[in-house]
Amino acid sequence: MAHWLVDLSTWRARRTLNRDNQLGILVDNTVLSHATTHETAWISTERAGSGSQTIDSGYAARIAVHPANSNDRDYHHIRQLPGLISLYRQGLIQLHTSAELQAEQFRKPAGLFRGYGYCDHNLFSSVKLESIDGYVFPDLGPKWMNLPNAGDQQRRRLEARAASDPEYASLVDVLGPSNSQDAWHIRTAEQNGLFCFLTMDYQLLKNLEAQKGAKRIKALQTRVMAPSELGQHIGLFPIPPHILSYAEASFPVRSDLAWPDGKRKGRKRR
């Protein structure tokens, strides 16, 4: 029933999208991180024992990150993701990652993008994002080799690309050197003819809005969009992720509960 409702939310988008000319979307890591809509919580039942010896009894269960009535900005965008993934499964859009986006993931805890707990659920858990431009691997070795860390290696790669790609260099000039990674992701989407770079990096979106009059931004051959913008553009109806509480679940689920502050807890579960 839940997946049927998600598919139903895409009916308007299905009328306009074309399988023979699929929209290509580069998915930012910020979207993957926010796509963990449920986490593992400890549900306390009672304190058993006598005297000074007591045990906090309970069980682990899946609960939602955001309350169903949340007005949180993240939640506003997250509600578009189930429909986007449904369109991907129907062959109407393409979802991609990239070499440098994967390089960024390499430096972060895997749980940030997949969930840390056994009961966690990430909307992209069953989606295999193919890289649009191959792969890069950091040079690793023992300390005595004195190799630069993975972050420094990525920074050097981007500096070399700025020297050889004037279109990328001009993006860095507009967005600033501190946004060189984001500029490369935008350039990657542009180079590969993708419709947009999908992100929940609000600072990047604010920066682009402030620079929208710049010649390079006006000439961009791709778009930079938040999920709600993309959903509105193609005609998606927002879907609260609570209806997917039981997705792939073989363990207790408390669909009536959510973290009160609507924030992921990561490894801090109680």
- Give the pLDDT confidence of 233-264 residue by residue, as tens digits: 999 999 999 999 988 888 999 999 999 999 99
Cβ–Cβ under 8 Å, residues 117 and 39: yes
Say what the pLDDT of residue 152 is.
Answer: 86
pLDDT digits (tens, 9 = 90+) for 98-140: 999 999 999 898 899 989 999 999 999 989 999 999 998 877 7
Q: Is residue 185 predicted with pLDDT exceeding 70?
A: yes
The Cα–Cα gap between 114 and 132 comes to 21
**What band does 48 get if pLDDT is binned at 50, 70 and 90?**
low
Q: What does the domain layout of the chain look like in residue ranges?
A: 2-45+59-258
What's the rounded mean pLDDT across residues 149-158? 86
pLDDT at 60: 92
Name the phi and psi angles at 40, rounded to 5: -90, 125
Does the model's pTM come out above 0.95?
Answer: no
More confident residue, 54 or 169: 169
pLDDT number for residue 35: 97
